[in-house]
Amino acid sequence: MPAIRIYEVGPRDGLQTIKQIVPTRMKRTLIEALRSAGLTSIETVSFAHPLYVPQMADAEKVFDGDGAALVMNQRGMDRAVKSGVTHFNIVFSPSNEFNLRNLGCELNEALARYMVMLEGVPKANVRVYLSCFFGCPYEGDISVGKRAKAIQAAKLFGDTVVLSDTVGTGTRHEVEVGAGICDKVGIRPALHLHHRVGKEEQALSLVRKGIECGITEFDSSIGGLGGCPFVEGSPGNLSTESLVRYLGFLGHDCGVSIEDLANAKRIALKIADTQTSDTKVKISESAGI
């Protein structure tokens, strides 16, 4: 069976919805615990405008030279490069309305922006997130044509495109369709899955379908922290521990065990228990995936 790669997003996507600011030292402690657990691919920060994502205002202090950062505009890119970031995540959507609300521009303008920002950056160092790939709260169903166009655009920037179920409505058939488009375009697909409370099995069923379709990389967040703060009602992330447990059940090696994650989960739960989440954030220049 193929080895499965877990891409941990807890330190960024998991924490960005927390209203009360998590201390910088606690963020770094969480990141170190995740590394100690054996997770080698971690999105640690976002260089978003502090006005819109105040939780990430200390990105320069949190980033320690290792890991990836989400960037969405030239200012964020400049901050990231100055901080020593070499691996970048970018985001846009097959939903134009989502792009307008989330990036402040239409898709073509976003693509032109990223072309300038990422000039000289190797594609191997860029992951491209396609928000609302499986459905949009503003536009509803996304046509196959729009999905294909977005995947083709993703290939301009990175070797990996992350098909993101922002509102937790994805189906096994849609995973198969997305994987098929990626195969035709010639880009490696990954999955970023959200799920409603009590519906984690739905996300896990998409993991299984993804593996059947040849997908070997999946996002998750320790303790299930997070969700998109720029879409009201956006559900939480698939938890890393559930993903590890499920992969073990299927017989796949991911290089991490539940026991390895114990300390990181303890820190994540401490954050969740002592902080207050607020998902009703103004939709503007954002980090929503």
Token pair, residue 58, equals 């200390």
> Whole-angstrom Cα distance, residue 98 to residue 283?
9
Of 136, 213, 228, 254, the active-site residue reads 228
CA distance 67 to 7: 10
Q: Is 45 left (phi over 0), alpha (psi -120 to 50) or beta?
A: beta
Q: Calculate the CA 222 to chain-centre distance.
A: 13
User: Is the distance from CB of 236 to CB of 18 less than 8 angstroms?
Assistant: no
> Does the annotation count 228 as an active-site position?
yes
How many C-beta atoms surround the C-beta of residue 122 within 10 A? 11
N-terminal to C-terminal alpha carbon distance within the chain: 30
> In this structure, how many other beta carbons lie within 10 angstroms of the beta carbon of residue 90?
24
Measured between alpha carbons, how far is 267 from 112 in angstroms, rounded to an integer? 40
Query: Residue 105 contacts by C-beta under 8 Å, 6 or more apart in sequence?
Result: 99, 113
Pairing of strands 188-195, 236-237: antiparallel
Distance CA 31, CA 53 (A): 19
Residues annotated as catalytic (active site), given as ranges: 228
